[in-house]
Chain A
Amino acid sequence: MTLDRDLMQTIIARYPRSRSAIMPLLHYVQSVSGYVTNEGIETISEILGIETAEVSAVATFYTQYKRKPVGEYHVGVCTNTLCAVMGGDAIFSALKDHLGIENDGVTADGKVSLEHIECNAACDYAPVVMANWEFYDNQSVESAKSLVDGARAGNPPAPTRGPNKLVTYKEASAVLAGLDDGLAREGLQAGAPTLLGLKLSKEGK
């Protein structure tokens, strides 16, 4: 697939200074290619008028920019302390066994990749799993296995707090590039833990 330079210019136009667009442009490259390709780095360097080494330096600093293809469904298991203790460690090791891949690995069919991730700001829903950076809350070994099995069969379950259907890694990357996919109104406004304090206060507690 090819990069749309006109679209890239609209991303640049969001900012007072063009260099600020480097991060959304890298997300955009991932939305086209599934990872940060050399061609992507060269194109960004060309249109921003900076060295490729400078673009690479930025791309390698941030963990979400991948220098090799990830799966169509990129799965992250939170193994920061709270989620790890609550079951994240067990989930992560079960998924490695189940998929036969290691951390940062991709299944042979290219469908699922796996990584352990840091706290994803959802600790009241621990243990947390993310797929294409959508929330899968309160996971167990079994639910996480059905998530990856569904993903491999092209039929993943919907996120807990996200759109009605799990988008692909490339589609999610376009959202992270700031592009509108029209799905903002889908899904819950909040899960039960988010609403707990409000509910109790309405009960006079």
Chain B
Amino acid sequence: MSKLTPVLSAHWDEADSFTIEAYTRHGGYTASKKALAMDPDAVIQLVKDSGLRGRGGAGFPTGMKWGFIPQGDNKDHYLVVNADESEPGTCKDMPLLLANPHVLVEGCIIACHAIRAERAFIYIRGEVTHVARRMNAAIADAYKAGHLGNGIDITLHIGAGAYICGEETALLDSLEGFRGQPRLRPPFPAIAGLYARPTVVNNVESISSVPAIINNGAEWYQSMGTEKSKGATLYSLSGHVNNPGQFEAPLGITLREILELAGGVRTGHKLKFWTPGGSSTPLFTDAHLDIPLDYEGVAAAGSMLGTKALQIFDETTCIVRAVLRWTEFYKHESCGKCTPCREGTWWLVQILRDLENGTGTEADLEKLLDLCDNIMGRSFCALGDGATSPITSSIKYFHDEYIAHVTNGACPFDPVKSTLFAGAVN
């Protein structure tokens, strides 16, 4: 039996999969019909029972989040879908929306009904023109078919290039027409979110998982996954592998199993380090091939499941170069609101640059760890914490390679060997 369980991706191989005709052909919009006939609280209970957890990174139980929305408060409620997908390595939501935007529309209808919202916003990052087209057309077609406009509306909002707008409160500020900077919490979005109204913010994959749960039931969803990490999810494999791509599998599958399916690390090379869930999740090495990729398994091994973005790097890759580049990203994307992150990421980049080009010292490693200590847990939002992950984890596993840069006075790696066009065997 296959280890893979395509549900979201089940019909992506049909050329017209993104159209309303294809979606309807495969039972699309039957789940929303069913859910709209249910009591909203029963929908929330069903999603709670399914065990679905947020796929945007933190793994918060989706049904519980919906349950936090106050009822009978006579206020507008909002659903906001986070389609900002900008965490380095993360590449599941954009292909999902390109191949089947209607599943998100249907998920929005169900979620709006459950939380008693009349309007959903879908916030898509701005750097994906064709995804924006597909989403816009799907919403328009859903209106024409009468799935929207009868008490539930969806507004598409397109971003303009800012990683921080993926952080849910920064996203809300951005959607209100301000610079995207995180808000102080409490109040949490469930109490005062968009326009200070009760708001649920969920990831694309979380909301898109709901229609199948409504149609097949909580028990079906529960039957996949592990004890506390239920269901199936999209794992995105990229980098130095023979066949990168999307793998929809039950939570708890291991990297070893996924690599076997993908034809392994590129031929002639071996695994050096990888991210389990994007660049903000501490790095793993070849010692972690058998860690169950669920929320608990990855956490127990000292990292986070995050967005399940499995970025694979082989032995040709310089760890210092990789970490420096990620750190430059965090420095560039720091919104500047708090000092530890704004100033800290600047210093991290300076020190890592010296280390990479061979002018650093052993003491610089201590400085890096000290700086990370001062950023971690002291930053206003999780971007600052995330910036320290690649640094502290890489020093833990590859201390000697940092030192080799110091003693060599230069980077000992040839970057050409890491490229796709260098071929499988050098």
Chain B residues with CB under 8 A of A62: 126, 159-162, 180
- Cα distance A121–B83 in the bound complex, in angstroms: 11
A17 touches B91 (CB 8 A): no
Q: Chain A residues with Cβ under 8 A from B329's Cβ?
A: 80-81, 118-119
Contact A61 B88, beta carbon cutoff 8 Å? no
Q: Are B158 and A178 in contact (CB under 8 A)?
A: yes
Q: Is A61 in contact with B180, judged by CB distance below 8 angstroms? A: yes
Select the stretch in B49-57, B92-100, B340-348 that faces chain A.
Answer: B92-100
The 8 Å CB contact of A204, one of B1, B90, B129, B246, is B1
Report whether B133 and A175 are in contact in the complex, using a CB–CB cutoff of 8 Å: yes
- Docked Cα-Cα span, A63 to B93, in Å, equals 21
Determine if B301 is an interface residue (Cβ-Cβ < 8 Å). Answer: no
Asked if B129 contacts A132 (CB within 8 A), the reply is: yes
B391–chain A nearest beta-carbon distance, Å: 13
Check B161 against A189 for contact (C-beta < 8 Å).
Answer: no
Stretch of A1-9, A103-111, A159-167 with 4 or more beta carbons under 8 angstroms from chain B: A159-167
**Given A15-B155, A126-B238, A205-B2, A133 and B128 touching (CB < 8 A)?**
yes
- Do the beta carbons of A23 and B14 come within 8 Å of each other? no
> What sequence of 0s and 1s flags, for each residue 65-76 of chain A, a beta carbon within 8 Å of any chain B beta carbon?
100000000001
- Contact between B12 and A201, CB atoms less than 8 A apart: no
Verify A81–B156 contact, CB threshold 8 A: no
Structural contact, A130 and B127, CB atoms closer than 8 A: yes
- Answer yes or no: A99 CB below 8 A from chain B CBs: no
Taking the complex as formed, is A153 at the interface, i.e. its CB lies under 8 A from any CB of chain B? no
Which residues of B (166-213) have their CB < 8 Å from a CB of A? Answer: 174-180, 195
Taking CB as reference atom, which chain B residue is nearest A201? B4
Instruction: Please report the total number of B residues contacting A with Cβ < 8 Å.
Output: 92
Q: In the bound complex, what is the Cα–Cα distance between A126 and B311 (angstroms)? A: 11
Q: Decide yes or no whether B239 CB sits under 8 A from chain A.
A: yes
Residues of the A chain whose Cβ atoms lie less than 8 Å from the Cβ of B325 = 79-81, 84
Closest CB in chain A relative to B329 CB, distance in Å: 6
B216 beta carbon closer than 8 Å to chain A: no
| A126 in contact with B420 (CB, 8 Å) | yes
* Bound Cα distance A21, B174 (Å): 10
Per the bound structure, the CA–CA distance linking A89 and B325 in Å amounts to 11
Q: Which of A86, A119, A175 contacts B419 (CB 8 A)?
A: A86
Given A20-B176, A23-B158, A85-B419, decide whether A123 and B245 contact each other with a Cβ distance below 8 A.
no
B29 within 8 A of A: no
A16 touching B195, Cβ below 8 Å = yes
Contact of A121 among B91, B119, B157 (CB under 8 A): B91
> B285 interface residue, CB < 8 Å from A?
no
With the chains together, A136 CA to B240 CA distance in Å? 19
A189 lies within 8 A of B130 (CB): no
Q: Looking at the assembled complex, report how far the CB atom of B243 sits from the nearest CB atom of chain A, in whole angstroms.
A: 6
A81 to B416, CA, bound (A): 14
The answer to the question of A46 belonging to the interface, with a C-beta cut-off of 8 Å to chain B, is: no
Chain B contacts of A47 at CB under 8 A? Answer: none
Decide if A198 touches B6 in the complex (CB within 8 Å).
Answer: yes
A57, B245: Cβ atoms closer than 8 Å: no
**Cα–Cα distance between A85 and B95 once the two chains are bound (Å):** 22
Q: A198 and B1: CB pair below 8 A?
A: no
Interface contact A185-B19, CB-CB below 8 Å = yes
Given contacts A16-B119, A197-B245, A198-B13, contact A133 B134 (CB under 8 A): no
Whose C-beta in chain B lies nearest to the C-beta of A50? B177
Residues of chain B from 316 to 355 with CB closer than 8 A to chain A in the complex: 317, 321-322, 325-326, 329, 332-333
Interface string of B227-269 (1 = CB under 8 A from A): 0000000011111100111111100000000000110000000
Cα distance A17–B161 when bound, in Å? 22
Check if B5 is an interface residue, CB within 8 A of chain A: yes
Question: Considering the chains assembled together, what is the distance between the CA atoms of A192 and B95 in angstroms?
Answer: 11
Q: Please, how many angstroms separate the alpha-carbon atoms of A91 and B347 in the complex?
A: 28
On whether the beta carbons of A118 and B132 are closer than 8 Å, the reply is: no
Residue B361 at the chain A interface, CB threshold 8 Å = no
A196 surroundings in chain B (CB, below 8 A): 243-247, 262
Chain A positions within 8 Å of B421 at CB level? 87, 90, 140-141
Q: Do residues B2 and A204 form an inter-chain contact, with CB atoms below 8 A?
A: yes
Tell me whether B178 and A198 are in contact (CB under 8 A): no
Residues of B within 8 A of A188 (CB): 15
**Does chain A have a CB within 8 A of B379?**
no
- Select one of A57, A61, A124 contacting B236, CB under 8 A: A124
Residues of B contacting A135 with CB < 8 Å?
128, 130
Q: Would you call B132 and A175 a contact (CB within 8 A)?
A: yes
Question: B-facing mask of A167-205, CB < 8 A → 1, else 0?
Answer: 100001001111011011101111111111111110111
Bound-state CA distance A24–B86 (Å) is: 19
Complex CA distance for A198 and B326, rounded to whole angstroms: 31
**For residue A27, which residues in chain B have a CB less than 8 angstroms away from its CB?**
126, 158, 160
A117 interface contact, C-beta 8 A: yes
Please name the residue on chain A nearest to B279 by beta carbon: A81
The chain B residue with its CB closest to the CB of A25 is B177
The residue of chain B having its C-beta at the shortest distance from the C-beta of A176 within the complex is B158
Q: Which residue of B lies closest to A132 (CB)?
A: B129
Give 9 A-B contacts (CB < 8 Å), ordered by A residue. A82-B238, A119-B90, A123-B311, A133-B128, A175-B129, A184-B133, A188-B15, A190-B12, A198-B4
Closest 7 CB pairs of A and B: A196-B245, A193-B245, A62-B160, A184-B137, A19-B177, A197-B247, A123-B238
